[in-house]
Amino acid sequence: MEKLVIRGDRDLRLKGEVRVSGAKNAVLPAIAASLLTSEQLRLSNIPHVKDVETILTLIAELGGSYEIAGDTVSLRVPKIRSDEASYELVRAMRASILVLGPLLARFGKAVVALPGGCAIGSRPIDLHIAGLQKLGATISLEHGYIQAQADRLHGAVIEFERKTVTGTENLLMAAALAKGETILKNCAMEPEVADLAVLLNKMGAKIDWVDEDTARVRGVKELGGATHDIIPDRIETGTFLVAGALTAGDCLVRGIVPENVGNIIDKLRASGATVETEGETALRVVGSRDVRAQDITTSPYPGFPTDMQAQFMVLLTQAAGTSIITETIFDRRFSHVNELVRLGASIEVQGDKAVVKGKTPLSGAEVVATDLRASAALVLAGLVAAGETTVTEIEHLDRGYERFEEKLRGLGASIERAGT
């Protein structure tokens, strides 16, 4: 088991340039889309993170093949050997559920382990299932596995009860090969969902957006190969922007789409940082030692992302005054709070709210990473905590951040990976 050892400094100012990788949450559905065609899918700008390895393993277990060259993966699934996504893989990564729609649509059958509990909340998948049933699938739950079957899916009008990212993605992929027209209402509008629709259209799907959260999918008989460049990771972007703001640094975050982080930029500016675009694909953040407290409520895109809540909380521990963070997406996404308190933060959780009292000096300690974004938050806190901070269980971090410590070192942080 590896850990990260950070030599923190309350006066640290991160400086320099960092390049953001491709979006984890865009590449996962894109890889799942390879199941929709017998032709080759070529995806570039893929991040080298553990979740990508996990979904590639799943594609291979199902009978597909892939080849990686640099940041490009080429995938082919001419036929399948198995239609089952094992509990082992689904437990390792809930996004494995993304194979359900494509397998069902192309092969008429899918067996996918029901994801169990999760560190950040209960995370049911009832909306994926209800949507697929509306497309004509017969679905039952047996021995912990979702058993789904359909001769050929057919179009339907589906309104999601609440916005779901992977739910929308599963339904877009399934409807792409269904007979007739599907209308998906109240779709998640995250850029990763839009990116998947772009890829599917390149493969021959007929998806258009009737309005910003309603998709019309005219089903086609088959889909073909495509080449696609994965969009930059907006959560990694936001994480480095917060790192710059937190350390009163001056950082240029490159290779990004500034419009996709609008709400994060607004909150950073409100907290006292200067954030400016540099050309079309970079943002410069200049932090201030006078961080202002503010309230944040997470909500679906284009609202403030739940995936940035933990990192922003760290910034608010250094703000003058009290901030209230309300988490509306997941019911248990405050596991980083107790660890931040070990570093000296003053945070109290009251139901779906975390009350952060700033400005507390942080001091290094050993802390445990509990989920992906919590891990990034603990690393950020360690940067400005006096003395040494050790973050253990960083396999969570490695699921979604590519070379995180190396990129931070490039900005002047003192951080090393070590075995335990």
Say whether residue 213 binds ligand EPU (CB under 6 A): no
The CB-of-164 to ligand EPU minimum distance in angstroms stands at: 3
CB atoms within 10 A of CB 31: 26
Q: Is 116 in the site for ligand EPU (CB under 6 A)?
A: no
CA–CA dist 29, 27 (Å, integer): 6
Neighbour-count burial of 345, counting CB atoms closer than 10 A to its CB (0-12 exposed, 13-18 middle, 19+ buried): buried
Q: What is the per-residue DSSP string for 87-101?
A: HHHHHH-GGGGGGHH
Supply the angle between the helices 165-176 and 24-32 in degrees, to the nearest 10: 30
Size of the site for ligand EPU (CB under 6 A): 24
Closer residue to ligand EPU in complex, CB, 186/363 = 186
Q: HSE (CB half, 13 Å, CA atoms) of 371?
A: 21
**Residue 341 buriedness (CB in 10 A; 0-12 / 13-18 / 19+):** middle
Residue 330 as a binder of ligand EPU (CB under 6 A): the answer is: yes
From residue 333 to residue 372, what is the string marking binding to ligand EPU with x (rule CB under 6 A)? ---------------------------------------x
What is the C-alpha end-to-end distance of the chain, expressed in Å? 6
CB nearer to ligand EPU: pick between 89 and 385: 89
φ, ψ of residue 85 to 5 degrees: the values are -95, 115
CB-nearer residue toward ligand EPU: 124 or 321: 124
Q: Should residue 167 be labelled a site residue for ligand EPU when binding is judged by CB under 6 A?
A: yes
- Which of 123, 267, 342, 396 contacts ligand EPU by CB under 6 A? 123
Q: Closest distance between ligand EPU and the C-beta of residue 307, in Å? A: 5
Judged by beta carbon, residue 336 or residue 358, the one nearer ligand EPU is 336
Q: Which residues from 85-104 bind ligand EPU, rule CB under 6 A?
A: 95
Task: For residue 158, count other CB atoms closer than 10 A to its CB.
Answer: 23
Catalytic residue among 5, 118, 139, 324: 118
Least distance to ligand EPU, CB of residue 315, Å: 18
Q: Tell me how far the alpha carbon of residue 349 is from its chain's centroid.
A: 24
Catalytic residue status for 251: no
Instruction: Give the type of residue at 278.
Output: E
- Give whole-number Cα distances, 290 to 263, 274, 280, 319, 411, in Å: 21, 12, 29, 7, 21
Q: Is 239 in the site for ligand EPU (CB under 6 A)?
A: no
Nearer CB in complex with ligand EPU: 120/205 = 120
307 binds ligand EPU (CB under 6 A): yes
Q: Applying CB under 6 A, does 158 fall inside the site for ligand EPU? A: no
Residue 54 is a binding residue for ligand EPU (CB under 6 A): no
**Looking at beta carbons, which pairs linking 68-74 to residues 24 or more positions away fall under 8 Å?**
71/21, 71/22, 71/44, 71/45, 71/46, 71/47, 72/42, 72/43, 72/44, 72/46, 73/31, 73/42, 73/43, 73/46, 74/40, 74/41, 74/42, 74/43
CB of 172 to ligand EPU, least distance (A): 13
Q: How far is the CB of 345 from ligand EPU (least distance, A)?
A: 21
Task: Specify the stretch interacting with ligand EPU by CB under 6 A; choose among 72-80, 124-132, 199-207, 348-356.
Answer: 124-132
Is 162 a residue that touches ligand EPU (CB under 6 A)? yes
Residues with catalytic function: 118
Q: Which residues bind ligand EPU (CB under 6 A)?
A: 25, 28, 95, 121, 123-128, 162, 164-167, 188, 192, 306-307, 329-330, 372-373, 400
